[in-house]
Chains A and B, each alone.
Chain A
């Protein structure tokens, strides 16, 4: 499914946040939010990035948006490494990469009118005259299924789903090619989730968007993504085309995640694989494979080496040393 030259190519991305050290302690501690993550997203592809909270998926999204600077690694967008671009040169890429935020209640300034919010990106980048921008705002509102008069109202007058539509229109206003959707539906009611997902799907086809879709459960991603990346504790566990991942997961973590998803069939006796214990501290992650403390297949060797992400079938990668399972 992935195109020959990926639109976005993330290589060895690492982000550590320094933690306040104890007084007189020489050792500096870090939260290992993202450790050596590499993946690519092809043009026109929808890639799901899935993991529990604390797995680093949102940090990856924020780093791609350059809302936070990476500790190491490259983020190559359309042939240019944007990971360390200075502000001025980054401006050109801000138009091309846009973000849909998780919480549609917090991500819209309550004091701005919807029209101003949507036009803000065009204003910043100097696109069009004020009259053209107004026309564009109306068009965008129509595109996301809201009436043009919404431009004159304030965000708090809208429901969660409508606000997320506004958030999408705001991101689309600068006509980006790449959208980072950071759990765009997790704050919404289930009934509204589907509507927003369908809207994203339609827009993707109409506008030829490429989307990195961040989610915390596999069920939302299932109907929407071409490929899925599964993360745990800052590292990628498995990357696979959607059908393969859901039909035949090859990583113990993916297996556990899938078994935890509810299946709407009362007769089906699903065997649930419960991961024992809590997610370890990202300040002091386990040696070797980060999953080994909770993995039911773990061997002594798992503590020795960090399992590399390796291809086990075309387009299917996993970071696990065991091939005799699953």
Chain B
């Protein structure tokens, strides 16, 4: 419930923020720089007088958009590979599994950074780095789920009835993995929010002047010491709310997807 409300607030801001707060996030106003939060500037202004709330809105759009893309791409690529490896087995499984192990040998943040540096700083390379780091997680999860489910008796009983591999996956294996996928997807979602922010923080993500939460925190860091806390605080709050609410929602989804827990769609 709390998670849904928090998530909904951020999404609402990202989607409708520009309509309700039509201020240009790039408009510089040197005279109005470093103003504390007020009615005119709900989150204050930064060192060159840009409205922090307008930048926060666009930062939310960028972060959420990229995180959704990363999550979907990671799910599709990693999930499909895991499904195939679990079903086909043999040399295909060995090759893909070892490749995934190799990827997992790198700490995810370092890996994402390496890709971002290698391809040149920017939003696309940052996103690709995070996707690459997320693929092995889905792969491992789906592969082990398929291996486990394949030996379940009701999968076997469908096999005894003559069900094809495609039918087994569609009706008896994939539906059982949806909750696992959702939980994994939500943690990948918050991971990519955090990692994109971290890449932005060290200057490898989205390049200025496009506002991005991680970059905004870096810019605000210097001013936090001199008392202008609002520069870094609000983007940090956005990251926090988004990551926490995604995890809360995942927990709730798991309960709903479990037919044995009486919980139904009453979030």
Contact = CB atoms under 8 A, between A and B. Distances in A.
Nearest to B159: A67
Contacts of B260: 110, 156
A106 B175 CA distance: 16
B181 to A, nearest CB: 15
Contacts of B159: 67
Interface in B60-98: none
B161 interface: yes
B148 interface: no
Interface in B176-219: 176
B12 interface: no
B163 interface: yes
Contact of A156 (B162, B171, B259): B259
A304 B64 CA distance: 75
A103 interface: yes
A41 to B, nearest CB: 18
A53 interface: no
Interface string B154-180: 101111111110010001100110000
Given A124-B167, A156-B259, A107 B161 contact: no
Interface stretch (A94-102, A142-150, A209-217, A280-288): A94-102
Contact of A111 (B156, B161, B164, B175): B175
A120 B167 CA distance: 11
A156 B154 CA distance: 14
Contacts of A107: 153-154, 156-157
B152 interface: yes
Q: B interface, how many residues as a size bin? A: 10 to 19
A91 B201 CA distance: 60
A110 B259 CA distance: 8
Candidate in B157, B163, B176 with the most chain A CB atoms within 10 angstroms: B157
A174 B158 CA distance: 12
A241 to B, nearest CB: 29
A271 to B, nearest CB: 39
A30 interface: no
Nearest to B164: A124
Given A124-B167, A156-B259, A156-B260, A108 B162 contact: no
Nearest to A94: B162
Nearest to A120: B161
A80 interface: no
Given A106-B153, A108-B154, A109-B154, A124 B161 contact: yes
B200 to A, nearest CB: 41
Contacts of B175: 111
Nearest to B163: A124
A67 B158 CA distance: 10
29 contacts: A65-B160, A67-B156, A67-B160, A90-B162, A91-B162, A94-B162, A95-B162, A98-B161, A99-B157, A101-B156, A102-B153, A106-B152, A106-B154, A107-B154, A107-B156, A107-B157, A108-B154, A109-B158, A110-B154, A110-B260, A111-B175, A111-B176, A111-B259, A121-B161, A124-B162, A124-B163, A124-B164, A124-B167, A125-B162
Interface of A: 65, 67, 90-91, 94-95, 98-99, 101-103, 106-112, 120-121, 124-125, 154, 156, 167, 170, 174
Given A67-B156, A107-B157, A109-B154, 15 more contacts: A90-B162, A91-B162, A94-B161, A99-B157, A101-B156, A101-B157, A102-B153, A112-B171, A120-B158, A120-B161, A124-B161, A124-B167, A156-B260, A167-B157, A174-B161
